[in-house]
């Protein structure tokens, strides 16, 4: 599960404001109420906390008196104005590739929802999973996502894409008729085990209208850079957390940490390199910090600490610690004790 610090793009926030304005809401008043500086919304790459977006849904529905607003979102906005993610999708060769890129770069639009796609026989399943603890209105979030997806798919290929079935992982709402209107003859299931849109797999091969293969790499490069910026602050921290969890008498390998992060070894190495660190540097940082912490405590012998930090022999720990600090573990402990008494 994600955290309450997850964010949504300023572009996505603006689209909700635009939809609310069409029902008479005052966008400046909405921003003031939910605590978002309108200046942030002028930056196309700006970010807004998901908790503020959740507050926006609640306040927009209150101001407009329109409980179906999340459901109508795909109809009220230009779904191809969602910023760089939309541009990437617009220049894919077909709908299947566009959905693949949607899943890959979902966090650019919203970090709180994981979108995945899978072909099963002759049907294609698009699944939504909430990943942020900041999402307190799951029905608004999941409903608006599928409303926007349906409209975006139709705009991309110029055809009336319709799901065979949509399952929502929340109880049946009182406005079921509104769902039936927006999603057409689609079979709707509520209180399902998961939220999933099921399409005929034939839709995947439909060409995207006016796609320009020459523009695709440019927009994807920008999307890749944005995604990297979102993940950079957390990746080193997450790797260190996994190293700490795995330091149980043996050195945790890069492969094991990558596996626990659901990443390939080369992918993890590449992302770390782009942030300016290596796995070995992070491992050394964790070991050094833990060694210093343990040496300040009287409970562990230096042999115990060597084992806890995953060194094969105490002598290896002694040499490494001296390289880190200029002192042997024993000398460092004595200096710490002496300093504490002074």
pLDDT digits (tens, 9 = 90+) for 91-150: 999 999 999 999 999 999 999 999 999 999 999 999 999 999 899 999 999 999 999 999
The whole-chain average pLDDT of the chain stands at 90
Mean pLDDT score, 263-280: 88
Residue 35 CA from chain centroid, whole number: 22
Compute the distance between CA of residue 120 and CA of residue 228 in angstroms, rounded to an integer: 31
Could you give the residue range(s) of every CATH 1.10.10.60 domain in the chain? 216-341
Q: What is the greatest pairwise CA distance in the chain?
A: 80
| Burial of 323: CB neighbours in 10 Å, binned 0-12, 13-18, 19+ | exposed
Compute the distance between CA of residue 289 and CA of residue 311 in angstroms, rounded to an integer: 15
Pairing state between β 187-189 and 165-167: parallel
Cβ–Cβ < 8 Å for 99, 117? yes
Q: Which residue has the tokens 């979108």?
A: 115
Cβ–Cβ < 8 Å for 224, 198? no
Cβ–Cβ < 8 Å for 79, 42? no
Compute the distance between CA of residue 177 and CA of residue 157 in angstroms, rounded to an integer: 27
What does DSSP assign to residue 204?
Answer: G
- Phi, psi of 64, rounded to the nearest 5 degrees: -90, -20
Secondary structure of residue 225 in the 3-state scheme: helix
Class for domain 216-341, per CATH? mainly alpha
Helix axis angle, 10-21 to 27-34, nearest 10°? 130
Task: Find, among 9, 80, 4, the residue nearest to 227 by Cα.
Answer: 9
Instruction: Label residue 1 by pLDDT band (50, 70, 90).
Output: very low
Could you give the residue range(s) of every CATH 3.90.1520.10 domain in the chain? 7-205
Instruction: Label residue 296 by pLDDT band (50, 70, 90).
Output: confident
Tokens found for residue 19 = 């939809």
Instruction: Label residue 79 by pLDDT band (50, 70, 90).
Output: confident
For residue 2, pLDDT over 50 is answered with no
Cβ–Cβ < 8 Å for 291, 325? no
Neighbour tally for 277: CB within 10 Å: 15
pLDDT digits (tens, 9 = 90+) for 188-223: 999 999 999 999 999 999 999 999 999 999 999 989
Question: ∠ CA(240), CA(244), CA(250), 5° rounding?
Answer: 120
Q: What is residue 225's predicted lDDT score, i.e. its pLDDT?
A: 83
Pairing state between β 113-120 and 47-49: unpaired
Percentage with pLDDT > 90 across the chain: 64
Mean pLDDT score, 74-84: 87
| Burial of 90: CB neighbours in 10 Å, binned 0-12, 13-18, 19+ | buried
Q: Which CATH code for domain 7-205?
A: 3.90.1520.10
Q: What is residue 234's predicted lDDT score, i.e. its pLDDT?
A: 67
Tokens found for residue 150 = 């349906």
Q: What is residue 319's predicted lDDT score, i.e. its pLDDT?
A: 93
DSSP letters spanning 70-86: HHHHHHHS-GGGSTHHH
Between the alpha carbon of residue 330 and those of residues 176, 281, 308, 313, 316, the distances in Å are: 71, 24, 16, 16, 14
- Answer whether 0.85 is exceeded by the pTM: no
Alpha carbons within 13 angstroms on the beta-carbon side of residue 225 total 8
Cβ–Cβ < 8 Å for 128, 108? no
């Amino acid at each position: 599960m994600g955290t309450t610090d997850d964010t949504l793009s300023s572009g996505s926030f603006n689209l909700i404001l635009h939809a609310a304005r069409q029902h008479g809401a005052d966008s400046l008043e909405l921003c003031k109420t939910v605590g978002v500086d309108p200046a942030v919304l002028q930056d196309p790459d700006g970010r807004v906390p998901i908790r503020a977006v959740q507050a926006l849904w609640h306040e927009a529905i209150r101001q407009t008196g329109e409980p179906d607003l999340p459901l109508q979102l795909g109809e009220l906005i230009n779904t191809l104005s969602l910023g760089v993610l939309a541009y990437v999708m617009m220049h894919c060769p077909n709908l299947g590739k566009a959905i693949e890129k949607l899943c890959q770069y979902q966090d650019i639009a919203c970090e709180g929802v994981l979108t995945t796609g899978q072909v099963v026989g002759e049907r294609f399943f698009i699944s939504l999973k909430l990943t942020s603890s900041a999402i307190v209105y799951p029905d608004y979030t999941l409903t608006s996502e599928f409303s926007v997806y349906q409209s975006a798919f139709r705009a991309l290929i110029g055809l009336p894409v319709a799901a065979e079935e949509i399952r929502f992982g929340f109880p049946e709402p009182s406005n079921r008729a509104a769902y039936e209107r927006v999603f057409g003859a689609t079979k709707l299931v509520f209180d399902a085990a998961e939220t999933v849109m099921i399409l005929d797999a034939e839709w995947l091969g439909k060409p995207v209208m006016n796609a320009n293969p020459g523009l695709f790499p440019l927009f994807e490069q920008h999307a890749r850079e944005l995604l990297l910026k979102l993940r950079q602050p957390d990746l080193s921290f997450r790797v260190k957390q996994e190293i700490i969890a795995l330091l149980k008498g043996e050195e945790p390998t890069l492969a094991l940490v990558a596996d626990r992060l659901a990443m390939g070894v080369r992918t993890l190495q590449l992302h770390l390199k782009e942030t300016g660190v290596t796995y070995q540097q992070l491992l050394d940082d964790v070991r050094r910090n833990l060694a210093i912490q343990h040496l300040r405590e009287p409970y562990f012998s230096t042999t115990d600490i060597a084992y806890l930090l995953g060194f094969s022999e105490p002598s290896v720990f002694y040499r490494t610690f001296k390289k880190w600090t200029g002192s042997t573990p024993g000398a460092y402990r004595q200096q710490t004790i002496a300093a504490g008494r002074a």
